[in-house]
Structure 1
Amino acid sequence: MQEEVITCRRHADVLHLDAPLQLIVPHLTESGFIGVSQMRFFVLDWHLISALIERWRPEMHTFILLIRECTITLEDIDIITRLPIDDHAVTGNYRLDWPSVCEEYLGIRPPPHVFKGCGLYMSWLIGQFEAIPEEADDATLLIHARAYIMRLIVGSLFNDKSNTRVNLMFLPLLADMRQARQYSWGSACLAYLYRELCRGANPETKEISGALFILQIWAWERIETVALSLPDPAPHDDAPLGSRYAC
Structure 2
Amino acid sequence: MSLLTMGDEHRGTIENISTFDPKRFRCRVHEYVPHDPLIEPYIRGCGFGNLLNIVSYSVDYKFILALLERWRPETHTFHLPIGECTVTLEDVYMLLGLRIDGKAVNGKVNHVNDICNELLGAPLLDDEPEGDTSSQARGQGINLKYLRQYYNSIVLSEDSTEYEKIIKAQCYIMILFGNFLFPESTGNSVNIMYLPLLRNINKVNTYSWGSAVLAHLYSALCKNAKKNTCTFFSCAYLLQAWGWSRMPSLAPENERPFAFPFATK
Settle same-fold status: TM greater than 0.5.
yes
Equivalent in 221, 228, 238 of residue 252 of structure 2: 228
| 3-state SS in 1 of match to 2:142 | strand
Equivalent in 40, 56, 59 of residue 41 of structure 1: 56
Matched, 1:8 2:26: yes
* CA distance in 1 between partners of 2:126 and 2:85 (Å): 47
What is aligned with 1:132?
155
| 3-state SS in 2 of match to 1:210 | coil
* TM-score, length of structure 1 as denominator length: 0.88
Equivalent in 239, 242, 245 of residue 263 of structure 2: 242
| Consecutive aligned runs of 4 or more in structure 1 exceeding 6 Å deviation | 113-117
Equivalent in 81, 84, 94 of residue 96 of structure 2: 81
What is aligned with 1:71?
86
Deviation at 1:111? 7.7
Shift in alpha-carbon separation, 1:184–1:113, aligned structure 2, 3 A: closer
The answer for unaligned runs of 5 or more in structure 2 is 1-12, 130-134
| Paired residues, number | 237
Shift in alpha-carbon separation, 1:169–1:33, aligned structure 2, 3 A: same
What is aligned with 1:217?
241
What is aligned with 1:106?
120
| 3-state SS in 2 of match to 1:242 | coil
Whether the 8 Å contact between 2:183 and 2:233 is mirrored in structure 1 is: yes
Whether the 8 Å contact between 1:114 and 1:121 is mirrored in structure 2 is: no
Identity %: 33
The answer for unaligned runs of 5 or more in structure 1 is none
| 3-state SS in 1 of match to 2:43 | helix
Aligned-residue RMSD, C-alpha:
2.2
Deviation at 1:197? 0.7
* TM-score, length of structure 2 as denominator length: 0.82
Deviation at 1:113? 8.0
Shift in alpha-carbon separation, 1:63–1:26, aligned structure 2, 3 A: same
Deviation at 1:112? 4.7
Shift in alpha-carbon separation, 1:111–1:29, aligned structure 2, 3 A: closer
* CA distance in 2 between partners of 1:175 and 1:89 (Å): 16
2:264 partner letter:
S
Shift in alpha-carbon separation, 1:137–1:219, aligned structure 2, 3 A: same
* CA distance in 2 between partners of 1:45 and 1:169 (Å): 29
Whether the 8 Å contact between 2:144 and 2:178 is mirrored in structure 1 is: no
| 3-state SS in 2 of match to 1:243 | coil
2:120 partner letter:
L
What is aligned with 2:33?
17
Deviation at 1:132? 2.6
Cα distance per residue 1:2-33 (max 9 Å; x no partner): 52336232243xx1411x22211111111111
Cα distance per residue 1:141-176 (max 9 Å; x no partner): 000000000011111111022121122211110111
Equivalent in 222, 245, 259 of residue 198 of structure 1: 222
| 3-state SS in 1 of match to 2:190 | strand
Whether the 8 Å contact between 2:71 and 2:225 is mirrored in structure 1 is: yes
